Structure 1
C-alpha cells in the first residue's frame, strides 16, 4: 500500500514542480485512461486465469460479481471525479 502512496506523492510533486514539458502534459488524460484500461484488463485476465476461482463461481454466487463490478465502477468513478475536480480547480 505504501508503494502506491509514494508513487502518487512523487507524481504530485513532479507535476507541481513545473518540470514536465507542456507537450507531455496535454497527453496525460489519454495516458491515464489507457493505463487504467490496461490495469483492468490485467485484473480480468488474472481472475479468468484462476481456475480455482472460476470453479468456485457457483458457490460465490451473484454477490461476488456485484462486489467486483461495484469495486471497478467505484474506482473508475473516483478517477473520473478527481480528474474533473482537478481540471475545474485549475481553470479558476
Structure 2
C-alpha cells in the first residue's frame, strides 16, 4: 500500500512541477485510460469467478439500488433545503 501511495504522490508532484510536455501528457493520459480499463476488466473477471458472490448477486443488487436511490433523494432534499434557506426570494423573482 505504501508503494501505491508513494506512486500517487510522485505523480502529483510531477504534474504540479509541470515537467512534461503536452505530447507526453497526452500519451500518459491515454496510457492511464488503458490501464484503468484493464483494471476494470480484471475486477469484473474476479467477481465473475467468485461463486459465493454470484449466489448473492440479487441481494447485493437490491442493496445497491437502495443505497444509490437514498443518496440521490438525500442530495435532492438537501439542495431543496439549501435553496429555501439561502435564496428564499430566488423562486419568487419574475423571469423575462
Query: Between Structure 1 and Structure 2, which shows a larger proportion of helix residues?
Result: 1
Aligned residues between the structures: 68
Which range moved further: 40-49 or 54-63?
A: 54-63
CA offset at residue 17 of structure 1?
5.5
- Aligned residues: CA RMSD: 2.9
Partner of 2:46: 46
Gaps of 5+ in 2: 68-96
CA offset at residue 61 of structure 1?
3.6
Gaps of 5+ in 1: 68-92
Aligned partners of 2:22 and 2:61: how far apart in 1? Answer: 49
The TM-score normalised by the length of structure 2 is: 0.50
CA offset at residue 40 of structure 1?
1.1
Partner of 1:27: 27
Bigger-Rg structure (1/2):
2
CA offset at residue 44 of structure 1?
0.9
Aligned partners of 1:31 and 1:66: how far apart in 2? Answer: 35
